[in-house]
């Protein structure tokens, strides 16, 4: 019996060693193995001294089962330790990763802060820009209004200018017309004296006085050879004359004729100082070819000398 117990202990020992070899563990399992071996040896020693009852097999079997169970639990623990190690390694890696992410997060937050500040600055500048834009819009509107007004004024001035140009053109035409009329207008004016030879008359018939001293005879409408003025154009003329006489005993007088129509009898006599004179003037409307002349009435006399006392003048006021 003693030898049988020792054999069983040996078997257990062998089994244990093999289980250790399979798991590869060499840590605290070795201590447990040593304890078991010593327990078995104790059992062997005890079995050497005393008789072992058949119950010992049951106890040994129970012991064996406990050892097996213990072994299984140990393996579980080893596995858990390995897993723990792996988890710790992963945890460490995660912590490193976390630190990196925190650093990046801090950087990102700094960037966000920086961007917020820049945003504030940009907002302020943007507000300023918007104000400037509003101001420019107002100014633009004002300028547009002024431009419109100015354009209206320009349009008005253009219209006035057009009207003035039309009037100016018309005036220029009128000026040209007047220049032409003026150029076409006959120039007629004369002043003549009767004679330097003293008395003319008296005659027993009327005579046309022939004024022979020519002061002016523009247009040659007055003829000194006949004493007659002939109207070169239809128009309005002015004529005047003065007659003089020194003998108070004789009538002095002059008639003015338009064609065969007498216009005036102008005469005088017996001035207390011995000198008599007449003077008269008329505006007459003449047809072209009409004649004007002065007549000495029958029995009358008139006097002239180098003093140019008896004269006849006339000119065209305007043609018609």
Residues that bind ligand NAG (CB under 6 A): 215, 248-249, 270, 272, 306-308
User: Exposure of 225 by Cβ count < 10 A (0-12 exposed, 13-18 middle, 19+ buried)?
Assistant: exposed
Q: Please check whether residue 181 is in contact with residue 212, taking contact to mean a CB–CB distance below 8 angstroms.
A: no
Question: C-beta of 190: minimal distance to ligand NAG in Å?
Answer: 13
Return the number of the residue (119 or 270) whose C-beta is nearest ligand NAG: 270
User: Exposure of 308 by Cβ count < 10 A (0-12 exposed, 13-18 middle, 19+ buried)?
Assistant: middle
* Residue with tokens 């078995």, as numbered in its chain: 40
Element (H, E) at 275: none
Return the number of the residue (204 or 272) whose C-beta is nearest ligand NAG: 272
Return the number of the residue (205 or 249) whose C-beta is nearest ligand NAG: 249
Question: C-beta of 214: minimal distance to ligand NAG in Å?
Answer: 8
Question: C-beta of 286: minimal distance to ligand NAG in Å?
Answer: 27
Return the number of the residue (70 or 247) whose C-beta is nearest ligand NAG: 247
Question: C-beta of 231: minimal distance to ligand NAG in Å?
Answer: 25
CA distance 227 to 58: 200
Return the number of the residue (33 or 311) whose C-beta is nearest ligand NAG: 311
3-state SS record for 19-51: HHHHHCCCCHHHHHHHHHHHHHHHHHHHHHHCC
Question: C-beta of 200: minimal distance to ligand NAG in Å?
Answer: 17
């Amino acid at each position: 019996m003693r030898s049988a117990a020792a054999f069983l202990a040996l078997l257990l020992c062998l089994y244990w060693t093999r289980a250790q070899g399979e798991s590869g563990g060499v840590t605290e399992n070795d201590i447990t193995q040593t304890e078991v071996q010593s327990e078995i040896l104790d059992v062997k020693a005890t079995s050497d001294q005393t008789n072992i009852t058949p119950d010992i097999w049951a106890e040994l079997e129970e012991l064996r089962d406990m050892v097996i169970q213990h072994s299984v639990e140990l393996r579980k623990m080893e596995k858990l330790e390995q897993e723990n190690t792996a988890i710790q390694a992963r945890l460490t890696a995660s912590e490193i990763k976390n630190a990196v992410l925190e650093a990046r997060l801090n950087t990102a937050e700094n960037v966000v802060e920086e961007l917020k500040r820049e945003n504030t600055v940009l907002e302020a500048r943007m507000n300023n820009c918007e104000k400037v834009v509003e101001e420019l819009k107002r100014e633009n509107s004002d300028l547009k209004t002024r431009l419109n007004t100015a354009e209206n004024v320009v349009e008005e001035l253009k219209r006035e200018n057009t009207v003035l140009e039309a009037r100016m053109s018309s005036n220029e035409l009128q000026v040209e017309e007047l220049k032409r009329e003026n150029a076409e207008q006959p120039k007629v004016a004369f002043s003549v004296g009767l004679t330097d030879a003293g008395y003319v008359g008296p005659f027993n018939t009327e005579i046309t006085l022939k004024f022979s001293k020519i002061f002016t005879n523009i247009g040659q409408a007055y003829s000194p050879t006949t004493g007659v003025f002939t109207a070169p154009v239809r128009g309005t003329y002015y004529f005047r004359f003065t007659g003089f006489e020194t003998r108070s005993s004789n009538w002095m007088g002059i008639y003015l004729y338009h064609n065969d129509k007498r216009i005036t009898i102008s005469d005088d006599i017996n001035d207390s100082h011995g000198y008599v004179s007449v003077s008269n003037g008329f505006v007459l409307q003449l047809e072209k070819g009409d004649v004007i002349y002065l007549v000495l009435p029958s029995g009358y006399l008139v006097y002239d000398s180098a003093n140019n006392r008896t004269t006849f003048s006339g000119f065209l006021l305007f043609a018609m």
